[in-house]
Amino acid sequence: MSKIIIGRYIPGNSIIYKLDPRGKLLACILFIFVIFLANNWITYGIISAFALIAVAATKLKPKVFWAGVKPLVWLIFFTSILQLFFTSGGTVYWNWWIFTLSSYGITNAIYIFIRFTLIILISTVMTVTTMPLEIADAMEWLLTPLKLFKVPVDKIALVMSIALRFVPTLFDETLKIMNAQRSRGADFNDGGLIKRAKAISPLLVPLFISSLETAVDLSTAMESRGYRGSSGRSRYRVLSWSNVDWINLGFFIALTILLLIFRTH
Amino acid sequence: MENIVTFKNVSFTYREAKKPAVNNISFSIKKGSWTSIVGHNGSGKSTISRLINGLLVPDDNPETEIVVDGIKLSDDTVWDIRNNVGIVFQNPDNQFVGATVADDVAFGLENRGIQRDKMIEIVDTVLKEVNMSDYKNSEPSNLSGGQKQRVAIAGILAIEPKIIILDEATSMLDPQGKEHIIELVKRMKQKNDLTVISITHDINEAANSDQVLVINDGNLVTSGSPNEVFIQTKMINEVGLEEPFIFKLQEKLKAVGIDLPPNLDTEEKLVDALCRLNSKM
């Protein structure tokens, strides 16, 4: 089980993989804002086309994206159905007690459905094509202005990269402890809520202790390798912004302008 | 040859402990030598390695003095000393800082504020030296324990230290991984004129070093060449250690009346002596 895909990154080498993570993160966040500009069929069509181009550009199997949408399917349907039955206005087709089925309701439900799916698709494109480490680097870059307010961005970045580096290690450790406790008769999958919660403690306590021990060992190792806080450090890993990244942002700006033109007021 | 590490009357007591972990120890280590520190579990061996690079501060005593490469250890000089000392720790998982192999090797260089183009050059060279170039962008969870220790050694070589300390660095590895690491350190010692201090349980490894220090309950019991130390069979057994195989064999042979010359401290010498005996018969 040590080969887990952290953050569900799937290696590949289409053009999206070569984009700078800063550009991707920025576009991903802005997309969520921009999607609220869409308010008619044309704008929804434009933004869907844009998202589908992004999905296609990853050259990954559709299955990957379905896996991204699947856990949220119930939320999407629930919200859409609420919209469907609780919106009044336009032509009313059907009415019973507090439920109404109107033309506005139908269009609203479809809009919400599209909006949800697109946001999930775009964030899946982001996480699937970017290594967690790159995302951490991109986040550090986004946080840089906070240095003005004396936020220790360098230290936060180090914390993030160490946390990411230990995700698979701790996962392995968890499995090892679970197996060790199972071989002594612990049962993690049976019984009611309280019994299961109690069964977790022989897993959690050793895991906490081992994480603390790891932390002590790691800090000793870091210190003996000359780590003395963030000042005066240089950086080995740097991100490079290329022309493709300008094109990426260019596409995004074009999308925003198109949406502003075609949206109804 | 000059001494690179000198301990004079060093004691160290952990905060909650009643007894000192290291009790008034004095010794010196020659430049370019391979020194093994042996002792049973909890005898204070690891504490000594942490005292050398200032991770631990010795108990207050005006006569205490730790000198590393001509610099006396104090609050002001601790970082200069750490620059010259690289430690490979026991657990290969818990000393891997970077998210990839290259990042980890570069960590020490980043701390020293080395320029990026120079770092790239150094990282590539040292990874080639430890034979890990193919794994440059691998994540630690995809490496074996032995490979992680090799990366740790690369990270130390990158900063060009004068002293390399192996703090039970091979104790969590399988016999093959252990052999690889020891071979690698031997090669690097030759090439870069390093001083190696190895804290070890592996008595057979200690038998191949230039100097052995035996520690028992925080006290330095004896020190000297492996031959001088391991000949003291009674003392070795008393501190809970075993003699190396070649010494055990010699003892057994002497017990059955075979007359061996003294000072057979390596396997080759023993083989040679036995062959000579054979030809005499």
Beta carbons within 8 Å of B38's beta carbon, 6+ residues apart: B45, B200, B201, B203, B206, B212, B213, B214, B215, B241
pLDDT tens-digit readout, B53-65: 888 888 888 888 8
* ipTM for the predicted complex: 0.84
**A236: nearest CB among B53, B87, B110:** B110
Instruction: Enumerate chain A positions whose Cβ falls within 8 A of a Cβ in B.
Output: 2-3, 133, 161-162, 164-165, 168-169, 172, 213-214, 217-218, 220-228, 232-238
**A169: nearest CB among B86, B93, B119:** B93
Tell me what pLDDT residue B211 has: 92
pLDDT value at B187 more than 70? yes
Quote the percentage of chain A above a pLDDT of 90.
16
Nearest CA in chain A to B109: A234
Q: Which residues of chain A have pLDDT under 70?
A: 1-9, 11, 89-90, 230
- Determine, for residues A221 and B108 on separate chains, whether the beta-carbon distance falls below 8 Å: no
Q: Is residue B259 part of a domain?
A: no
* Residue-number span of the structural domain to which A68 is assigned: 15-130+241-264
Q: Is residue A233 part of a domain?
A: no
Tell me what pLDDT residue B249 has: 85
Nearest CA in chain B to A210: B94
Q: Is residue A147 part of a domain?
A: no
Give yes or no: residues A21 and A122 share one domain.
Answer: yes
B20 touches chain A (CB under 8 A): no
Q: Is residue B231 part of a domain?
A: no
Phi, psi of A176 (to 5 degrees): -60, -45
What is the interface size between A and B, counted as CB pairs within 8 Å? Answer: 96
Reduce the DSSP state of residue B197 to 3 states and report it. strand
Give yes or no: residues A92 and A216 share one domain.
Answer: no
Give yes or no: residues A110 and A164 share one domain.
Answer: no
* Number of domains making up chain A: 2
B118 touches chain A (CB under 8 A): no
B138 touches chain A (CB under 8 A): no
Quote the percentage of chain B above a pLDDT of 90.
23
Q: Is residue A179 part of a domain?
A: yes
Quote the percentage of chain B above a pLDDT of 70.
99
Tell me what pLDDT residue A135 has: 85
B76 touches chain A (CB under 8 A): no
Give yes or no: residues A207 and A251 share one domain.
Answer: no
Q: Is residue B260 part of a domain?
A: no
pLDDT value at B98 more than 50? yes
Task: Name chain B contacts of A140, Cβ cutoff 8 Å.
Answer: none
Give yes or no: residues A42 and A171 share one domain.
Answer: no
Tell me what pLDDT residue B276 has: 84
Give yes or no: residues A25 and A124 share one domain.
Answer: yes
Strands (DSSP E) found in A53-122: 92-96, 99-102
CATH of the domain at B137: 3.40.50.300
Tell me what pLDDT residue A89 has: 67
Task: Name chain A contacts of B85, Cβ cutoff 8 Å.
Answer: 224
Q: Is residue A260 part of a domain?
A: yes
Burial of B59 (0-12, 13-18, 19+ CB in 10 A): middle
Task: Name chain A contacts of B140, Cβ cutoff 8 Å.
Answer: 165, 169
Give yes or no: residues A98 and A165 share one domain.
Answer: no
- Rounded to an integer, what distance in angstroms lies between the CA atom of residue B164 and that of residue B85? 6
Q: Is residue B264 part of a domain?
A: no
Range B134-142 average pLDDT: 87
pLDDT tens-digit readout, B251-273: 888 888 887 777 777 778 888 88
Give yes or no: residues A46 and A76 share one domain.
Answer: yes
Give yes or no: residues A120 and A164 share one domain.
Answer: no
Kind plus residue range of the DSSP H or E element containing A22: helix A21-34
Of A95-104, A179-188, B16-25, B32-41, minimum mean pLDDT range: A95-104
Give yes or no: residues A126 and A205 share one domain.
Answer: no
Find out whether B34 and B156 touch, Cβ atoms under 8 Å.
Answer: no
Give yes or no: residues A184 and A113 share one domain.
Answer: no
Q: Is residue B258 part of a domain?
A: no
Q: Is residue A10 part of a domain?
A: no
Give yes or no: residues A79 and A34 share one domain.
Answer: yes
Tell me what pLDDT residue A3 has: 39
* Number of domains making up chain B: 1
B51 touches chain A (CB under 8 A): no
- Determine, for residues A236 and B116 on separate chains, whether the beta-carbon distance falls below 8 Å: yes
The overall average pLDDT reported for chain B is 87
- Rounded to an integer, what distance in angstroms lies between the CA atom of residue B41 and that of residue B240? 9
Q: Is residue A95 part of a domain?
A: yes
Nearest CA in chain B to A137: B99
Nearest CA in chain B to A228: B111
pLDDT value at B213 more than 80? yes
Q: Is residue B271 part of a domain?
A: no
Q: Is residue B160 part of a domain?
A: yes
Q: Is residue B274 part of a domain?
A: no
- Determine, for residues B89 and A2 on separate chains, whether the beta-carbon distance falls below 8 Å: no
Which of B123, B127, B141 would best serve as a mutation to test chain A binding (most A beta carbons within 10 A)? B141
* Residue-number span of the structural domain to which B139 is assigned: 3-226
- Rounded to an integer, what distance in angstroms lies between the CA atom of residue B185 and that of residue B173? 15
Find out whether B146 and B180 touch, Cβ atoms under 8 Å.
Answer: yes
Task: Name chain B contacts of A224, Cβ cutoff 8 Å.
Answer: 53, 55, 82, 85-87
